[in-house]
Amino acid sequence: MNANAEKAQSQAIALFVSDVHLQPAMPGTTQAFIDFLHRHASKAQQLYLLGDLFEYWAGDDDIVSPYNQRIAEAIKAVSDAGVAVFWLGGNRDFLIGESFAGATGITLLSEPFITKIAGHRIVLAHGDAQCTDDLGYMAFRAQVRDKAWQRNFLAMPLTQRKEIIDRMRMGSREAQRGKSYEIMDVNPSAIASLFALTEATVMVHGHTHRPAVHQHEWNSRQCVRYVLPDWDCDLEPARGGWLALHDDGTFTRINFDGSAFKQDCNGA
Ligand code: MN
């Protein structure tokens, strides 16, 4: 471990992570995330889980499955250690609700959420709401984020909900195949609007699986947008990581194994 990574771990006050896509079929990723919670998150003051932690979430009654139980217990251990753990739903796990929050000690946030840490005004979002060029997805999002739709869905038996989710996941893979690289990224105007609306100077989001640090100028203010990586530690080379904010106001990008990120692909 180099000195930079050592510093990153000792003084990090807030950690941000998203898009781990936890699922039983990915044991390496699951273990890497649990290691992250145990070794790193439990030593921070705040942990922000910014969506798509789970590959899918069929409803809080599914917390009894052994796999989900294992994840819930690992998150609870972090909140029990005195860390404030915040949750913001993604497009796959937006059905996480109060029962899961109660079982794990997390605080549910709605996006966009503004937090002030170490002198920064930071806006947090999953990132899917800013992919406004993907009209098909935006229509789908409006439907599944509708409270009445969610009530109807959650009233179905768990097995039926899982079947529907399986079909949705297959349909989503099909739909993505026909979409261009640009369409599936965030829209620049949607990002500018979010900076304007929130008057934040830092934005943190995931969803696009295109980890980067982007510099933006808004109203002659320099703004920075951190895009979090997705995780896959079941493939070679393994990937994943998080963003750390230190008490001196600096940010560090850390790889899933705790090593410091070598280079920033700025704007790439
Ligand atoms: Mn997502």
- pLDDT at 172 (0 to 100): 83
Distance from C-alpha of 229 to C-alpha of 170, rounded to nearest angstrom: 23
Predicted pLDDT at 220:
84
Q: Report the separation in Å between the CA atom of 92 and the middle of ligand 1, taken as the mean of its atom positions.
A: 6
Residue 260 belongs to a domain: no
Q: Determine what percent of the chain is predicted with pLDDT higher than 90.
A: 84
The two tokens of residue 79 are 């909140």
Q: Does 35 map to a domain?
A: yes
- Residue 268 domain flag: no
266 in a structural domain: no
Global pTM? 0.93
Task: Give me the residues paired with residue 242 across strands.
Answer: 254
Does any domain span residue 188?
yes
- The 10 Å CB-count burial string (b at 16+, else e) for 53-87 is bbbbbbbbebbeeeebeebbebbbbbbeeebebbb
Taking the C-alpha atoms of residue 215 and residue 83, their distance in angstroms, rounded to an integer, is: 30
pLDDT of residue 250: 95
- The rounded Å distance from CA 130 to ligand 1 centre is 11
Distance, CA 104 to ligand 1 centroid (Å)?
22
* 90 CA → ligand 1 middle, Å: 5
Q: How many domains does the chain have?
A: 1
Among residues 145, 61, 67, 157, which one has the least CA distance to residue 103?
A: 61
111 C-alpha vs ligand 1 centroid, how far in Å?
13
pLDDT of 266: 44
| Within a domain: 263 | no
Q: What is the CATH number of the domain that holds 87?
A: 3.60.21.10
What does pLDDT average to in each consecutive run of 10 residues of the chain (268 residues)?
52 95 97 98 97 97 97 98 97 96 98 96 97 93 94 97 92 82 88 95 96 89 96 96 96 94 55
- The range of the structural domain enclosing residue 111 comes to 3-255
Alpha-carbon dihedral 192, 195, 201, 204, rounded to 10 degrees: -90
pLDDT at residue 6 in the model: 54
Give the pLDDT score at 5: 53
Q: Which residues surround ligand 1, an ion (CB under 5 A)?
A: 52, 90-91, 207
Q: What is the pLDDT of residue 33?
A: 98
Between the CA of 51 and the centroid of ligand 1 the distance, in Å, is 7
204 beta partners? 124, 226
